[in-house]
Structure 1
Amino acid sequence: MKHGEDDTAQRGRLAGVVKEEKGQPVEGVTVALKGTSFGTTTGPDGSYRLSAPAGSYQLVVSSLGYTSQELTVTVTAGETTTLPEFALAQSNQQLSEVTVTGNRSLNERPTSISKLPVASLDLPQSAVTVERQVLEQQQVLRLSDALANVSGLYVTSTTGGTQEELGSRGFAYGSNNTFKNGVRFNNGVMPEASSLERMEVLKGSAAILYGNVAAGGVLNLVTKKPQFERGGSVGLRVGSFGFWKPMVDVYGAVGKSEKVAFRLNGTYEQGNSYRDEVKSDRVYVNPSLLFELSPKTTLVLEGDYLRDNRTPDFGIGAIDYVIQESRSRFLNVPGASNATNQTSTTATLTSRLNDTWQIRGVAGFQRYDNELRTATRPVPPVTSPSSATYGDLTRSLQRTETNENYFLAQLDLTGKFRTGFLEHTVLIGADADQYLTNTLAYSGPTSATNSRVNVTAYDAINILNRSKVVAQPKERIGSFDALVRNLSTQSNTRRAGFYVQDLLSLSEKVKVLAGLRWSYQETPSDLYYHNTAANRAGTNKFGPLAGQLVNNRRYDDAFSPRLGVVYQPIKTTALFASYSSSFTPQSNTAVDLEGKPLPPSIIDQYEVGIKNDLFKGALSANVTAYRIVNSNQIQSVLPTDPRFQTAQTTSPQELAGEVTSKGVEVDIQSKPMYGLSFIAGYSYNHTAYTNSNIFENGSRLRYNPAHTANLSLFYNFGSTFGENGFLRGLTAGITTYYVGDKLAGRNPRTVNPADGKPWPTGTDANKFISIPNYLQFDASLGYTYDRFSVRVKMANLLNELSYNMHDDNSVNPIAPRNFSATLGYRL
């Protein structure tokens, strides 16, 4: 076992006391295991207690004004070893600050999201880990702030300003691809970043491990864990636009227990915005407990509560697919709100059965509640559509209520053993999860003049001149409370999977990873139409009359294979090639010409790359190239197709389309060297239709930037000027992130899907919007003295203006130049 690995199943403890020469206890002394991430500080009585995996270490004891000491120690699993008393001698020189950090490179770190206890260097797949130290240095507030550390990971859109939708390699992540501590996380709300221990990104297909996930990759957010050493911090972050955020993080043993430890993270956040009338407030609490049930078995219980209330914000508006440049224009109505509550619990039991096998079980529950009251996208008035050219648009109201219960059970068995000359690292697992989702949508009330029509309009405005008097609709909705129940959707998605994979070491230089997963999925959905005008008239676009219940049932299964080869000519370099597949189930209404449900689309992914640890592991440099092909994408059978005339359904579809994504990614990370550390990356992606009966072949899909680039530099002056009283606590950093050649709007069509005939040139209403390229440049400074710290950050120093967009109806500008400062105190 390598020092520094998170192996809580074989932990032991070290305990002792640190005093000065005259016998008085010394508080705040750093006690750390050299070359690992395990460390603590002494309490007021000079005592310390340090938990770490079993093994031999070099213990370092150091503090300002004293001469450091080292001692060889042995940690014994399940036991507490009391060490001799340390007597620190005063030094005539001030010592450099001791920073306890992990000692593993990007390619040496195993990732929990990969489920295999092996270094990334041994995997035929690109993986990136961003540690807590980097997140704190960059003062990451949202996940979008952390994108500057991972090539090819980007924001696709921020629909309504209430969430950050991420993607990579041409595919959106969504809730299926976003995990917290290995459990799916509903990304309809922005996750809290202050509680993160690290962020893991496993690029490419992960279907063999998690079933129904998109082909681009998966993201795992790992929260801070309990520790037996007492400690923590309190802080306050303030910033531009009235932002303020108090934070607390405390941990330690429960009482004087050597078997139970706790951790509690909590924040409150409130702020206005550079956007007119936009506000937010949120509360986050993350408690956790660690039980050492035996020297080989641990149980971690984690809770997570987030309440997030904010103003829904669909941005500044567009007219005929042209952005109406602004940073502050707000188009929503008074009283608009988006209220979300998300609660989750996770239990993780890990037990090392023997020297060969380990078992890990996870049980999780998540509750998600959301109530949205907002205006819809402003549209041209029905009576005068040409007036939209001058900015005259009509606003309507929408209201939805969603609650979702999510359950997960997962069991993984991992083992390392030999058969003859072959060395195996085996994963055998099974998982099952269930979504119980209820969504209630509202619509406008019945028109007073026509009982077959619903009133939808709220008012009319001019988005270019809000003071302009605009003719109002004849009938209007007065408030959100005037909306009436329209459609209830009750979904009960059930999934299960069984998987096995083996990393075979054929020799010291050649490894083969082979595996297979079988997934099963049920997606029943009940639609209940309420008593609105369209339903009473029988004209609801869904078909049923008022009060009618529609049952949709769908059953799918798929196999997801994986095969990869790793060649390591030297221990610090690996070349790899791999093939894997993933699948995308169709909607409940997707049926073929005979009215039968269509099977899932199978997506093939090919990946090659090279991983390097250079300069004795001080620098990791990885390059990956990939090609992802969905050769059986769903598309409609057009009315001009002869088969359409004999179809047994009005909307037949088939698996005949094709989308291809290809690209290159470069990731570079360094360890701290002479106080300097850096992260850099570049990605190129081209995702396009390569076979379509509606869109032009070769036309790119929206939301995926062709180019991203990132560079982050961080320098600790104390590593060079350690004896200088002022500079020893000073740090500085810069972060840059570039996004280029990104499209939004809607893909222009070559054929009218309504009649299957070609569009006359220039008559298709769909258009692309080219999003302005931008380079975001951030700078930060930090200073630490004793237990106090202050960090300041200036974001978007160049004041770049660009947008995150969904279609053309959520045009959200990025934040302008802004300032933040964080004051902290280490407990």
Structure 2
Amino acid sequence: MHRKLLLILQLTIILLVTYTGDSFSQTARGTVRGKVVTSKNEPAGNVSIGLEGTHYGTATNELGEFSFKAPAGSFTIIISYVGVQRVEVPVTVTAGQTTDVPQITINASMSQLSEVNVIASRANRFTSRISTDAAKIPLNALENSQSYTTITNGLLKEQQLFTVDDALRNAPGVQKMWDATGRAGDGGGYFTLRGFTVQSRLRNGVAGLVTNGVDAVNVEKIEIIKGPSATLFGSTLSSFGGLINRVTKKPYEAFGLEVGHTVGNYDLNRTSIDLNTPVTADGNVLFRLNSAYNYEGSFQNYGKNRTFALAPTLSIKASDRLSILLEAEMFYGRASAKPFFFFGSTPKEMGVTNAKQLNIDYKNAYLNDNVTQFSRSTNYFAQATYKISDKFTSQTIFSASNSFSDGANPYYYLMTDAAIFGNPALTGHNYIGRYDQSTADSKLKGIEVQENFNGDFKIGSVRNRFVVGLDLQHQNSHQVYFGNFYGIAPLNDPSFDYGAFNKQVVDATNAANPLTAANTYTYIYKTNTYSAYVSDVVNITEQLIASAGVRVDHYENKGTYNFDGVKQAEPFSQTAVSPKFGLIYQPIKDQLSLFANLQNGFVNPGLYTNANGDATVADLQNANQIEGGVKLGLFDGKLNGTISYYRIKLTNSLRAIPNSPVFAQEQDGTQTSKGFETEIIATPFNGLNVVAGFSYNDNKYTKGDPDVLGLRSNVAGSPYLANLYLSYRLPETLINGLGVGLGGNYASNNKVINSVSSGTLELSEYYLFNGSVFLDRSKYRFGLSVNNITNKHYFIGYTTVNPQRLRQFVLSASYKL
């Protein structure tokens, strides 16, 4: 493992030395600064711009602004697009001075901005400079004292990734634990981040619940905001490890159309459309529609998944001050369950320590794929932005989320033969118990109303950027779970009819066991959360930035009920205060930041049974993080990255009291999670882009149940994770738009069971490799990618063992107008 760390450090040093050498070779330089807009005077973001005949250049940010250094002399700024007359602007660079270029207007549609023929060097196309959601204030990464990772739509397209879950392989420190279950309320994929579980629950910074895997057809970028983040996002949507926020595509002012089709092995078939059009001649009303239908089989003998996504968006510019955005996002799915292997007997009882010893047939689904579950999630979003003045803006947001599921969700218990047959004389573990945890018309509905007042003003020479917000979140849950036993099956028997576990058997079993309060497990409740928060980012000097924020959160639980409507727990309420602090110092302004933060997260655990057998309202669980590190934006945006160290302490964890006859708990647990993360997004030379990350996490219980004291949490994931992607596009003088990509992921051993009484069960480390070749032109795009090139057999798990997809070929074609 030390050799792996050394190799990563060596690669980082090589990159830094390469850039440093280039930087020192040009000492007499000045700065070129300006702004690029479209013909409708809209900011032209992510436009590559440079000096003709040189490798000096950069890309505009989301506001259309650019700034880069170049040697002294007279040059011509070039912006060139396929099918559009190129823009040429003369500029004279003076050493040690900043040259302001007059505003540049390009006669191109927003859809054409991605089709750039660059005459000079381009910045890395996998970076996103400004986030409006990560701090609820528009800040670039070097001004934000919190770590976050952005995965751009450009990276998803190049790697031919179609879901948010798959895209997260590009985020350092993030590891998938479970594939999506399709269950209302918690159906999205489960991941671990900084030692704690996290799901994709936010959309454009507010609630956007999902029931299944999230199709990425409407995703502009994905933001992984790291560490406890309750101050700005509350406790319902974020976790102690952080949160996942998907930023959706928005309409633009010209007509655009892209239609694509994808095929692959395992019966993959996918059709997608991205349609954009102005509704009115003046461009004040714009419409965009993104949609995709996806069908995929399984690498196992049974399994299929059908999904449909529909996402219409309407943008209205009501006046110079008022703009309105209306969005809908609808996901529908029907899928057979992916095998999840739980432990009915402990690893210690089974005499195993690694998943390889379990004799699981990797390509066997152990059931018929006509046993399916239907899932649906819909999100409706409305935003009104009003410009009060040049300094202040009001933003009013309404979000309604609805998730629904109905159907069977089988899973399996790994057990000793002695336990399976009730015969202590038997040895081995050659069978599984087949169960399901189905949902019956389960629903989780959420409404969020949020009002934000943003300001950007100076008090004397001190710049303040602040947000004051009010937030109401309402949840109405009617989640109904039930289960049945479907007998035992051998783990490896070619003569056994595994497909006999089918829809007919499930339907007959359900009909014979009508639902009652006695055989259902329910989450039936209503909650309201009322919150107020404030955060201010203060430029004490141009290079020293401080930030502070606080949230006051009042949570109301209206009581919980069983299937028959009988109250099971009384209502209760709690009030929490969540602070955050941050500090940024930039030794090299807008290029190098030293940052530190104190972040807080909390959870309302609800009611538990204490040692006396009484129902008790649990105290708030609190997580406090200390983090520090370095952020890079060097060499005109060609070397970007974050290196950070963090320490999170969680208090007031609940734990079971051993041998309690009433399942009593005690709230005295403490858990510490600490580690470091490194992320590099770089352009070492024209055409080559690098996305790389490495993380280490040390997670253990420091106080509480002796059964796990001092041990790593069994949901913390692998201690070591790494990701790498190299992308190279040939010079346009050879074959315009032709490129190749190669990358992969590493995960160290993962202890999914880890206690004194149960023993330890590890999932082995794995290396995954992926590659792609693509031709991206103004009117069309072709791509061929291969995932899991080496056909690696590997498992993921969340106290479980779950086999993952084998090698897959994906061929895509799209046509663009």
State the TM-score, normalizing by the size of structure 1: 0.80
- Show the counterpart of 1:121: 142
Q: How does 1:471-490 map to 2 (within 5 A)?
A: 478-487=508-517, 488-490=522-524
For residues 361 and 786 of structure 1, what CA distance do their matches in structure 2 show? Answer: 37
**What corresponds to 2:681 in structure 1?**
669
Q: CA deviation at 1:799?
A: 1.6
Contact 2:211 2:377 in 1 (8 A): no
2:385 paired residue number: 350
1:457-476 equivalence runs, <5 A: 457-465=485-493, 467-468=495-496
Does structure 1 residue 209 correspond to structure 2 residue 228?
A: no
Counterpart secondary structure, 1:275 = coil
Deviations 1:622-646 (A, max 9, x none): 100000001322234557xxxx9xx
Q: CA deviation at 1:429?
A: 0.6
Q: Does residue 1:194 correspond to 2:211, yes or no?
A: no
Q: Among residues 262, 272, 286, which one is paired with 2:311 in the alignment? A: 286
Match of 2:755 among 748, 751, 770: 748
Q: Which residue of 2 aligns with 1:428?
A: 468
Change (3 A) 1:548 1:149: closer
State how far apart, in whole Å, the 1-side matches of 2:106 and 2:698 are: 60
Map 1:502-513 → 2, pairs under 5 A? 502-513=536-547
* TM-aligned CA deviation for residue 403 of structure 1: 1.0
- The Cα of 1:804 is off from its aligned counterpart by 1.4
> Which region of structure 1 is more displaced relative to structure 2, 336-345 or 383-392?
383-392
Unmatched segments (≥5 aa) in structure 1: 6-10, 16-30, 39-51, 85-94, 444-455, 531-546, 750-763
- Alignment match, 2:58: none
Is residue 812 of structure 1 aligned with residue 811 of structure 2? no
The CA distance in 2 between the partners of 1:153 and 1:555, in whole Å, is 33
Cα distance in 1 for partners of 2:35, 2:802 equals: 43
Partners of 1:264 and 1:36 in 2: CA distance: 23
Equivalent position of 2:812 in the other structure: 822
Q: Pick which of 66-75 and 585-594 moved more.
A: 66-75
Task: Give the letter aligned to residue 653 of structure 2.
Answer: Q
Is contact 1:619-1:671 (8 Å) kept?
Answer: yes
Q: Which residue of 2 aligns with 1:148?
A: 169
The one-letter amino acid paired with 2:572 is R
Which residue of structure 2 aligns with residue 14 of structure 1? 40
Shift in alpha-carbon separation, 1:557–1:710, aligned structure 2, 3 A: same
1:243-293: CA deviation from partner (whole Å, max 9, x where unpaired): 100111010201424210010001111121102210111111010011011
Q: Give the distance between the partners of 1:135 and 1:493, measured in 2 at CA.
A: 36
1:495 matches 2:507: no
Aligned pairs for 1:663-812 (under 5 A) are 663-671=675-683, 673-703=685-715, 704-717=717-730, 720=731, 722-724=732-734, 727-745=735-753, 747-749=754-756, 764=757, 766-785=758-777, 787-808=779-800, 811-812=801-802
User: 2: CA distance between counterparts of 1:345 and 1:271?
Assistant: 27
Distance in structure 1 (CA, Å) of the matches to 2:547 and 2:618: 32
* Aligned counterpart, 1:516: 550
Q: 1:375 to 1:710 in 2, by over 3 A?
A: closer
Alignment match, 1:324 = 359
Deviation at 1:37, TM superposition (A): 7.5
Residue 603 (1) aligns with residue 623 (2):
yes
Rounded Cα–Cα distance in structure 2 between residues aligned with 1:232 and 1:661: 47
Alpha-carbon distance in 2 for matches of 1:419, 1:342? 46
Tell me the CA shift for residue 382 of structure 1: 5.3
Aligned to 1:437: 477
Contact 1:37 1:101 in 2 (8 A): yes
CA distance in 2, matches of 1:480, 1:684: 46
CA–CA separation in structure 2 for the residues paired with 1:83 and 1:441? 57
CA displacement at 1:781 relative to structure 2: 0.3
- TM-superposed CA distance for 1:805, in Å, is 1.6
- Tell me which amino acid in the other structure corresponds to 2:535: Q
| Residue pair 2:444, 2:476 contacting (<8 A) in 1 also | yes
Q: Per-residue deviation at 1:200? A: 1.0
Match of 2:595 among 569, 576, 592: 576
Distance in 2 separating the partners of 1:299 and 1:385: 69
How far apart, CA to CA, are the structure 2 residues paired with 1:56 and 1:215? Answer: 36
Preserved contact between residue 170 and residue 685 of structure 1 (Cα < 8 Å): yes
Q: Is residue 2:670 matched to residue 1:658? A: yes
Instruction: Flag the 1:329–1:469 CA change in 2: closer, same or farther, 3 A.
Output: closer
CA distance in 2, matches of 1:673, 1:222: 29
Q: Report how far residue 784 of structure 1 moved.
A: 3.5
- Of 220, 227, 237, which residue of structure 1 is paired with 2:252? 227
Q: Distance in 1 between matches of 2:688 and 2:514?
A: 60
- CA shift digits 1:356-407 (9 cap, x unpaired): 1111111011111101313342454354476583523443444322112110
Q: Tell me how far 1:101 sits from its aligned partner.
A: 8.2
The structural deviation recorded for 1:528 is 2.6
CA drift at 1:107: 8.0
Relative to structure 1, the CA distance from residue 316 to residue 512 in structure 2 (aligned partners, 3 Å threshold; closer, same or farther) is: closer
More moved, 104-113 vs 261-270: 104-113
- Unaligned stretches of 5+ residues in structure 2: 1-32, 50-61, 68-76, 91-100, 109-115
1:461 maps to a residue whose letter is A
Q: Residue type of the partner of 2:627?
A: E
Deviation at 1:335, TM superposition (A): 4.0
1:521–1:388 Cα change, 3 Å: farther
Say whether the 8 Å CA contact 2:752–2:799 is kept in structure 1. Answer: yes
For 1:791, the aligned partner's letter is G
Q: CA 1:413/1:673 → structure 2, altered by over 3 Å: closer, same or farther?
A: farther
Change (3 A) 1:700 1:548: same
Aligned equivalents of 2:308, 2:611: Cα separation in 1:
47
Cα-to-partner distance string for 1:23-62 (whole Å, 9 max, x where unaligned): xxxxxxxx99596389xxxxxxxxxxxxx96999989464
SS for the counterpart of 2:755 is: coil
Matched residue of 1:400: which SS? strand
Displacement, 1:589? Answer: 2.8
CA distance in 1, matches of 2:363, 2:48: 45
1:625 is aligned to 645
CA 1:98–1:157 in structure 2 vs 1: closer, same or farther (change >3 Å)?
farther
3-state SS in 1 of match to 2:155: helix
Q: Does 1:561 align with 2:596?
A: no
Contact 2:432 2:489 in 1 (8 A): yes
Q: Is the 8 A contact 2:279 2:285 kept in 1?
A: yes
The 5 Å alignment of 1:362-401 reads 362-378=397-413, 380-381=419-420, 383-384=422-423, 389-401=428-440
Alpha-carbon spacing, 1:556–1:480, altered in 2? closer, same or farther (3 Å): same
Distance in 2 between the 1:424 and 1:493 partners?
Answer: 35
Q: How does 1:31-50 map to 2 (within 5 A)?
A: 36=47
> CA offset at residue 324 of structure 1?
2.2
1:60–1:440: structure 2 CA closer, same or farther, 3 Å change rule? Answer: same
8 Å CA contact retained: 2:385, 2:393: yes
Preserved contact between residue 336 and residue 369 of structure 2 (Cα < 8 Å):
no
CA drift at 1:575: 0.9
| Equivalent position SS for 1:806 | coil
Q: Which has the higher mean CA deviation after the structures are superposed, 622-631 or 370-379?
A: 370-379
Q: Contact 2:125/2:154 (CA < 8 Å) preserved in 1? A: no
Q: 1:164 to 1:457 in 2, by over 3 A?
A: closer
Q: How many matched pairs? A: 715
Deviates more, 1:284-293 or 1:378-387: 378-387
Q: Which amino acid in the other structure matches residue 138 of structure 2?
A: P
